């Protein structure tokens, strides 16, 4: 079974951000010890023998680097013991600015981690406090310096826009400061109000107001223009990179390829099925320790679903969906499978075709969800 990627979830945070709906819990050393034991049981279920050969590993959260030095070494050891790190092309750790002392940075480097994703969000201390972040702007500078000091130069930073009280000018300042680092990769997302978050509660009470839609659109267009002018090309709706530094792990998702989903609340995609792990921490630990299979739900994925997802996910990429690859993969022509979707979306100016590639237009990127629903196949 060829599974090219592994996602490993560490659900602990020093503080819960006001917008975050990922599986996360306040860090507790004892709970983290128990979780790492359970995590190793689950990894062993997927990789019981020889080390798995994967192209990418992504350790996300939560905040994987919030754990102690001893716990971080244990985590790195278990990944090293079950996966062939030497053959892994991209090995990413998420981190929060402020969590990375020099010992942790050196440890990550020594264990073969070759890419860091930093959750910066904004270069504005007041806004960082308002959205529930614990780091401050100076921490970004300190941590990037430490990463570069040990030779970890493949750094990506996340930025957010359309935040409460954020103006177009505010976001422009964040983009300009982010670009001063000359990093190879940037991700940027507009604020989504998700259930079970602090912001969701405030939104329902009427105490949280997002910027107008026209401001949000202007922020997104400015982001695209400024990054392109600095040689950082958009390759997906929310992701930008210098040539050769596109996230190989995220491309696994958008190319509709298989990946292990390991850890509380993780989603995996294996031949014939998608898996969702148990989310509550005590239940995850209990089930993983009992049988190494803390799966809450398995959803069968047939050819119909695969073809739909090929379009949903592939159209997120700037390069779009290759009709030749679609035909090779499913032995069907996409135009035949999706009928009127192509001419209808072309007529509306939401997609266009170049050679054998179908991709979103600039307007189509803004109205992506309208495009994607056109690729649902009638039963």
Q: pLDDT (tens digit, 9 = 90+) per residue, 247-274?
A: 999 999 999 999 999 999 999 999 999 9
**pLDDT tens track for 269-306:** 999 999 999 999 999 999 999 999 999 999 999 999 99
Classify domain 5-254 at the CATH topology level.
TIM Barrel (3.20.20)
Domain boundaries, the chain: 5-254, 303-375
* CATH architecture of structural domain 303-375: Orthogonal Bundle (1.10)
Residue pair 376/308 in contact by the 8 Å Cβ criterion: yes
Question: In whole angstroms, what is the distance from residue 139 CA to residue 59 CA?
Answer: 21
At 377 the pLDDT is: 86
CA-CA-CA-CA torsion sign (133, 138, 141, 143): negative
Burial of 226 (0-12, 13-18, 19+ CB in 10 A): middle
Strands in 321-322's sheet, in edge-to-edge order, are 321-322, 357-360, 351-354
The residue ranges of the chain whose pLDDT is under 70 are 1, 16-24, 197-198, 200, 203, 379
**pLDDT tens track for 155-185:** 999 999 999 999 999 999 999 999 999 999 9
Geometric angle at alpha carbon 289, from 29 and 250, rounded to 5°:
75
What is this structure's pTM? 0.94
- Dmax over CA atoms of the chain, in Å, equals 58
Residue pair 164/130 in contact by the 8 Å Cβ criterion: yes
The CB-based long-range contact list for 360-367 (8 Å cut-off, 24+ gap) reads: 360/237, 360/315, 360/320, 364/315, 365/237, 366/217, 366/220
Segment (H or E) for 254: helix 248-254
């Amino acid at each position: 079974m060829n599974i090219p990627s592994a996602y490993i979830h560490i659900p602990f945070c020093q503080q819960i951000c006001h917008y975050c709906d990922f599986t996360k819990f306040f860090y507790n050393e004892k709970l983290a010890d128990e979780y790492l034991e359970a995590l190793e049981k689950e990894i062993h279920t997927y990789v019981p023998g020889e080390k798995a050969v994967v192209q990418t590993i992504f350790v996300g959260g939560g905040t994987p680097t919030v754990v102690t030095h001893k716990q971080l070494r244990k985590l790195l050891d278990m990944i090293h013991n079950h996966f062939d790190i030497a053959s892994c092309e991209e090995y990413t750790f998420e981190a929060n600015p402020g969590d990375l002392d020099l010992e942790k940075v050196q440890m990550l480097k020594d264990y073969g981690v070759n890419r860091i994703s930093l959750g910066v969000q904004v270069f504005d201390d007041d806004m960082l406090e308002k959205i529930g972040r614990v780091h401050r702007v100076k921490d970004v500078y300190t941590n990037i310096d430490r990463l570069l000091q040990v030779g970890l130069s493949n750094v990506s930073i996340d930025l957010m826009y359309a935040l409460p009280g954020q103006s177009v000018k505010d976001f422009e300042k964040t983009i300009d400061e982010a670009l001063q680092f000359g990093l190879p990769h940037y991700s940027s997302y507009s604020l989504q109000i998700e259930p079970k978050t602090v912001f969701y509660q405030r939104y329902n009470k009427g105490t949280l107001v997002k910027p107008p839609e026209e401001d949000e659109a202007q922020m997104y267009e400015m982001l695209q223009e400024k990054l392109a002018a600095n040689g950082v090309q958009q390759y997906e709706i929310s992701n930008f990179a210098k040539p050769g530094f596109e996230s190989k792990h995220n491309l696994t998702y958008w190319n509709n390829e298989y990946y292990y989903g390991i850890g509380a609340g993780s989603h995996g995609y294996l031949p014939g099925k998608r898996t969702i792990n148990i989310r509550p921490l005590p239940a995850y630990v209990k089930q993983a320790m009992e049988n190494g299979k803390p799966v809450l739900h398995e959803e069968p994925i047939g050819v119909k679903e695969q073809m739909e997802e090929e379009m949903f996910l592939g159209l997120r990429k700037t390069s779009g969906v290759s009709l030749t690859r679609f035909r090779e993969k499913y032995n069907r022509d996409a135009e035949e499978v999706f009928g009127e979707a192509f001419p209808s979306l072309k007529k509306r100016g939401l997609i266009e075709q170049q050679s054998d590639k179908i991709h979103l237009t600039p307007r189509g990127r803004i109205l992506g969800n309208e495009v994607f629903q056109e690729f649902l196949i009638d039963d």
